[in-house]
Chains A and B, each alone.
Chain A
Amino acid sequence: MNGPRFLRAGERGVLVEFSSLTEAMALRAAIERSPIPGVTDATSGARTVLLGFDPAVVERSAVEAAVAALEIVAAPDGGAGAPVEIPVVYDGDDLASTAELLGVSTAELIAAHTGRTWLCAFGGFAPGFGYLASDGWALEVPRLEVPRTRVPAGAVGLAGEFSGVYPRESPGGWRLIGRTGLSMWDPARTPPALLAAGTRVRFVEAARG
């Protein structure tokens, strides 16, 4: 694995860029194991991790040196812990068209979606929305050309290399393949988000109801 690129993101940010999602996720795990003094927060992206630091405590070059010195070991399934099971009724409006686009049957698409462990790579878009990735998921799904103005809460979608569940009603351009009744975001719960960076996920086909 090549070393990461360090990009300046303002006076108190280092954007660490990798060539793969797996490496970016591994950096997160490495930093949780060995925190870097003066680094106040870490936020994940698809190829990147943004490290916020306090310039009064640590210099940018020292943050970069500390990251470069970390042993970054990619854990393909994200490590220990039972995965969160998300029951899904596969009746999304885009299920058939997405399967056709990918050159598979709807049954094959459902089997591929349920037959693997997903890992929450990063959050964003809305509270409780996790970008779920899975090693070996070879399907690159284009977003809708015209995003929907209204996607219902619980809609399960695909976009790019990711799958995700809409935590609440919102606009959205992901291709919808199903829906779940699970609450992805509940401020009264600790933690409020069902999925956070590092959470493992299995989708389970549920009966239509």
Chain B
Amino acid sequence: MSALEVTRVGLLATVQDQGRSGFLDQGVGHAGAADRGSAALATRLVANAAGAALVETLFGGLAVRSRGATELVVTGAYCPLTVVTAAGRTHRPAMYELIELADGDELQLGAPSAGLRAYLAVRGGIDVPPVLGSRSYDTLSGIGPAPLAAGDVLPIGDETDGDPLVDAVAPPWGVGDTAPGVVLDALRGPREDWFTPDALRVLRTGVFTVTPASDRVGVRLEGPAPLERAIASELPSEPMALGSLQVPASGHPIIFSADHPVTGGYPVIAVLTDASIDRAAQLAPGQSVRFRLH
């Protein structure tokens, strides 16, 4: 049976799938790939079943060696790719393109030039044991397969669905997309009335900076001014939707990402659209974002 041997991990590499459902009432969140669109595209390119697991890497850095022949693809953050064959030859495949590895070949991901998270899918899917019905690692609760470490051997499953139809696709978001102003779409609510009109103006017009404290739980932003509350009382704990812009006491919003807590005690001023949730998962510390409110 073929497998992938992890030879190097960067900052963080985890196994993810479409997430864990049915445990919200026990305090366990959804997890799953943070940029769902990129993960779904990688899954489709190798013609895996939609629920097959893949690897999510933070800021590249991952390297895997093929045991047996494997077929892979990398999507998401734009990482330079290098294949070193078992014979020691080197070539550079592209992102969003099927990569065939022979036994002993190694695929290496460099640091991304744009984006934060890359997805490595292998035909057949990563076949580690699921926990509570999912192979996603939840960084908040610690539930799921442990983050990858060098030396890990990832078995490859047989969760395919047909054969790959194309060898490559055009990258779905801008190559070299380092423009200073990423614009995220958000729907006002559920608690916009807990904020002053001025807070909504700041959210609509201000430029926010992604801080280094961002992770799979939330993208922490720093705005030009704190978002002031119109209602100062404590919010009774309430469930939080994926993509919520929660405003803690500091007044600087946090975008709730894949591993966000199930409930929270601070008001949510707006919630990102599906497409912008994926885009937010690719925001790197230091990047600037603005919001288009609907």
Binding site for B on A (CB under 8 A): 7-13, 15, 40-41, 43-50, 52, 122-131, 160, 167, 185, 187, 191-193, 195-198
The answer to whether the Cβ of B162 comes within 8 Å of any Cβ in the partner chain is no
Number of cross-chain contacts by CB at 8 Å: 120
Chain A residues near B143: list those with CB within 8 A.
Answer: 127, 187
The answer to whether the Cβ of B241 comes within 8 Å of any Cβ in the partner chain is yes
Output the least CB separation between A197 and chain B (Å): 4
Q: Contacts A125-B261, A193-B27 hold; do A15 and B236 have CB atoms under 8 A apart? A: no
Of the A-B pairs whose beta carbons lie under 8 Å apart in the complex, a sample of 5, sorted by A's number, is: A8-B188, A10-B244, A11-B274, A127-B143, A185-B26
Identify which of B188, B191, B263 contacts A43 (C-beta below 8 A).
B263
User: In the docked arrangement, what's the CA distance between A46 and B261, Å?
Assistant: 15
Output the least CB separation between A132 and chain B (Å): 13
Residues of chain B in range 261-293 having any CB-CB distance to chain A below 8 Å: 261-264, 268, 271-274
Q: Contacts A124-B261, A124-B262, A125-B263 hold; do A44 and B239 have CB atoms under 8 A apart? A: yes
Chain B residues near A43: list those with CB within 8 A.
Answer: 24-25, 239, 262-263
Cβ contact within 8 Å between B141 and A127: yes
Cβ contact within 8 Å between B26 and A8: no
With A45-B239, A160-B236 given, name 15 new contacts (CB 8 A): A7-B190, A8-B189, A9-B189, A9-B241, A10-B243, A12-B241, A15-B190, A43-B25, A45-B236, A47-B236, A123-B263, A124-B237, A125-B261, A127-B26, A192-B23
Nearest to A48 among chain B residues (CB) is: B238
User: In the docked arrangement, what's the CA distance between A131 and B262, Å?
Assistant: 12
Chain A residues near B187: list those with CB within 8 A.
Answer: 8, 10-11
Chain A residues near B243: list those with CB within 8 A.
Answer: 10
Give the secondary structure class of A's interface.
strand
Cβ contact within 8 Å between B189 and A45: no
Output the least CB separation between B140 and chain A (Å): 9
User: In the docked arrangement, what's the CA distance between A122 and B265, Å?
Assistant: 13
Output the least CB separation between A113 and chain B (Å): 20
Chain B residues near A13: list those with CB within 8 A.
Answer: 190, 241, 271
- Sorted nearest first, the 8 A-B pairs with minimum C-beta distance are A124-B263, A10-B271, A45-B238, A7-B190, A193-B26, A123-B27, A46-B236, A50-B239
Cβ contact within 8 Å between A46 and B190: no
The answer to whether the Cβ of B28 comes within 8 Å of any Cβ in the partner chain is yes
Identify which of A9, A52, A125 contacts B27 (C-beta below 8 A).
A125
Cβ contact within 8 Å between A52 and B238: no
Cβ contact within 8 Å between B21 and A41: yes
Chain B residues near A52: list those with CB within 8 A.
Answer: 241
Chain B residues near A15: list those with CB within 8 A.
Answer: 189-190, 238-239, 241
The answer to whether the Cβ of B183 comes within 8 Å of any Cβ in the partner chain is no
Nearest to B243 among chain A residues (CB) is: A10
Cβ contact within 8 Å between B241 and A46: no
Residue interface mask B188-210, A partner, CB < 8 A = 1: 11110000000000000000000
Output the least CB separation between B34 and chain A (Å): 16
Output the least CB separation between B229 and chain A (Å): 17
Residue interface mask B229-240, A partner, CB < 8 A = 1: 000000011111
Cβ contact within 8 Å between B237 and A46: yes
Output the least CB separation between B254 and chain A (Å): 15
Chain A residues near B268: list those with CB within 8 A.
Answer: 9
Cβ contact within 8 Å between A128 and B237: no
Chain B residues near A10: list those with CB within 8 A.
Answer: 187, 241-244, 271-273
Cβ contact within 8 Å between B273 and A127: no
The answer to whether the Cβ of B131 comes within 8 Å of any Cβ in the partner chain is yes
Identify which of A9, A45, A49, A196 contacts B271 (C-beta below 8 A).
A9
Chain A residues near B242: list those with CB within 8 A.
Answer: 10
User: In the docked arrangement, what's the CA distance between A191 and B24, Å?
Assistant: 12
Nearest to B141 among chain A residues (CB) is: A127
Chain B residues near A126: list those with CB within 8 A.
Answer: 27, 141
User: In the docked arrangement, what's the CA distance between A46 and B187, Å?
Assistant: 23
